[in-house]
């Protein structure tokens, strides 16, 4: 099962390597990871996507908690949540395909962020599945370069 975990930690040198070292040392998997400062500059928020059954996930959460620089660990995929990824894709756009590429970008609500005679650079955001979908469609046209962020996620506010 896929889980998206949000970790609040001290914004100090070496803290990220404590987290990644824990995952590699204990053989837990990391599918994606993204980290940045929070409103409080002393704290960072790290979002990571991992896979495992319940007992593995229990260990992951407990082991993260055990790290002294970690303040809070939440498995946000346990409840309703939103997640986003972003990708920058440079796709071949020559005479015959220029219009088609624009149509695809439009369908996915992407944005062209750089234009050259032979290519467009496109920015798309969305869930990992959405990003994968546009990649699959653009691939036959010719992707020259792609850069993706890790997932970031946030729990939805209660509806009442």
Partner 1 sequence: MEKLKGSLAIIECLKEEGVKTIFGFPGGAVIDLYDDLLDSDINHVLVRHEQGAVHAADGLARVTGDVGVALLTSGPGATNGVTGIATAYLDSIPLVILTGQVPTPLIGNDAFQEVDIVGITRPCTKHNYLVSKAEDLVPTLREAFHVARTGRPGPVLIDLPKDVVASIVDFTEKKPIRMQNYQPTYEPHMGQVEKACKEILKAKNPVLYVGGGVILSNANEELTNLARTLNIPVTMTLMGLGGFPGSDPLSMGMLGMHGSYASNMAVAKSDVLIAVGARFDDRVTGRIDAFAPHAKIIHIDIDPTSISKNVAVDIPIVADCKHALTAMNAWLKTCGEDLDKVAASHVEWLETIKNWTDKHPMGYTDEGETIKPQFVIEKLDELTKGDAIITTEVGQNQMWAAQFYKFNKPRRLITSGGLGTMGYGLPAAIGAKMAFPDEVVIDVAGDGSIQMNIQELATSRQYNCPVIICILNNNYLGMVRQWQELFYDKRYAATIMEVTPDFVKLAEAYGAAGLRATKTSEVEETIKKALELVKKQTVIIDFRIAREEGVFPMVPAGKATTEMLLV
**Residues in touch with partner 1 (CB under 8 A):** 13-14, 17-18, 21, 25, 55, 58-59, 62-63, 65-66, 68-72
Query: Closest distance between partner 1 and the C-beta of residue 43, in Å?
Result: 10
Query: 100 vs 44, 105, 113, 134, 144, CA distance in Å?
Result: 41, 9, 17, 13, 16
Closest listed residue to residue 5, CA positions, set 65, 90, 69: 65
Compute the least distance from the CB of residue 92 to partner 1, in Å. Answer: 42
Closest to partner 1 by CB, 2 or 12: 12
Task: Give the C-alpha separation, 101 to 112, whole Å.
Answer: 10
Instruction: Write down the H helix ranges in the chain.
Output: 15-25, 54-66, 98-107, 128-138
Beta carbon of residue 37, minimum distance to partner 1 (angstroms, whole number)? 17
Minimum CB separation of residue 36 from partner 1 in Å reads: 19
Q: Output 15 or 49, the one with its CB closest to partner 1.
A: 15
Residue 110 neighbours by CB distance under 10 Å? 22
- Kindly tell me which of 73 and 105 has the beta carbon lying closer to partner 1: 73
Give 58 or 100: the residue with its C-beta nearer to partner 1. Answer: 58
Q: How far is residue 118's CA from residue 10's CA, in Å, rounded to a whole number? A: 45
């Amino acid at each position: 099962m896929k889980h998206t975990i949000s970790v609040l930690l001290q914004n100090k040198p070496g803290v990220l390597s404590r987290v990644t070292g824990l995952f590699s040392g204990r053989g837990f998997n990391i599918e994606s990871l993204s980290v940045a400062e929070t409103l409080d500059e002393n704290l960072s928020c790290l979002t990571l996507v991992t896979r495992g059954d319940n007992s593995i996930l229990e260990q992951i959460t407990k082991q993260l908690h055990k790290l002294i620089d970690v303040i809070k660990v939440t498995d946000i995929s346990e409840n309703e949540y939103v997640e986003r990824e972003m990708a920058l894709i440079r796709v071949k756009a020559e005479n015959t395909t220029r219009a088609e590429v624009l149509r695809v970008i439009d369908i996915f609500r992407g944005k062209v962020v750089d234009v050259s005679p032979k290519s467009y650079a496109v920015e798309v955001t969305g869930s990992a599945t959405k990003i994968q979908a546009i990649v699959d469609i653009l691939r036959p046209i010719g992707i020259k370069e792609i850069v993706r962020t890790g997932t970031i996620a946030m729990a939805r506010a209660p509806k009442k």
